[in-house]
Amino acid sequence: MGLETILATILPALLPGVADGFKMIFSKITGISMGDPKTFQERAQLEQLGIEKMKALAELDKPYGTISLWVSNLRASFRYLAVGAIIIAALIYCFLPVSYQNPVALSFLSQLSGSSTFFLIGDRVYLGLKGQK
């Protein structure tokens, strides 16, 4: 559990910021801003595309018929429940007697739990640093 563990846990959290940094460097070199519309008409078209995208996503996420509130809440919290299950599985495996542990499985579970945790936390931190909520 050395460098690969560090990379597996830190890299998912830093990847959005690094990608944004490369975009900014490319924008400075070429003089072309990345993703910013140049005119009001382009901005309006971009906003309209965003609205259409949100409508399409809402239509895909809309269940057919009526569903129970607990089913809706379960669907909304699936990522958090999956991360919780991964972390609990890793903790249980860590506290097993050494004779039952496999070093490869232990490394896999520790990397999986770290990556999934930093996936959730890194996304929220990155948006917070950019000033979006």
pLDDT range class, residue 35, cuts 50, 70, 90: low
- Mean pLDDT check: name the lowest of 43-52, 76-85, 86-95, 117-126: 117-126
pLDDT at 52: 93
CA 81 – CA 98 distance, rounded (Å): 28
Tokens for 91? 């903790």
Q: How confident is the model at residue 10 (pLDDT cuts 50, 70, 90)?
A: confident
pLDDT band at 132 (very low <50, low <70, confident <90, very high): low
Give me the mean pLDDT over the 11-34 stretch. Answer: 80
Q: What pLDDT band is residue 131 in, cutting at 50, 70 and 90?
A: low
Reference 124, options 13, 6, 40; nearest CA is 13
Q: Which of 113, 122, 117 is nearest to 86 (CA)?
A: 113
pLDDT band at 77 (very low <50, low <70, confident <90, very high): confident
Distance between CA atoms of residues 116 and 109, nearest Å? 10
